[in-house]
């Protein structure tokens, strides 16, 4: 069977953007310390990590779980990612 993948990432949220709402089933963190986006369950477990060589100055994200999309503002460019 499949085993759950675990990440050990130091969470420095002092300069992070945290995105969630009642309509979202996850919490999203823009982790600027390593230019990645973390998807967490609402219980606090990291479920996915999005990272790219193109992410060098993350500004903001927009999440649409119904359409399974994540829009990422990096500098002045917007990237669209499948969740």
CA–CA dist 66, 36 (Å, integer): 22
Name the residue with tokens 């999005």: 50
How much is the pTM?
A: 0.78
How much of the chain exceeds pLDDT 90, in percent? 63
Average of pLDDT values for 46-52?
94
Report d(CA 68, CA 64) in Å as an integer.
Answer: 6
Could you read off the pLDDT of 6-27 as tens digits, one per residue?
555 555 556 777 888 888 999 9
């Amino acid at each position: 069977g499949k085993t759950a993948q675990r990440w050990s990432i130091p969470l420095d949220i002092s300069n992070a953007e945290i995105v969630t709402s009642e309509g979202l089933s996850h919490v999203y963190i823009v982790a600027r310390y390593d230019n990645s986006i973390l998807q967490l369950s609402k219980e606090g477990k990291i479920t996915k990590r999005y990272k790219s060589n193109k992410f060098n100055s993350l500004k903001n994200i927009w999440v649409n779980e119904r359409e399974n999309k994540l829009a990422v503002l990096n500098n002045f460019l917007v990237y669209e990612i499948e969740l």
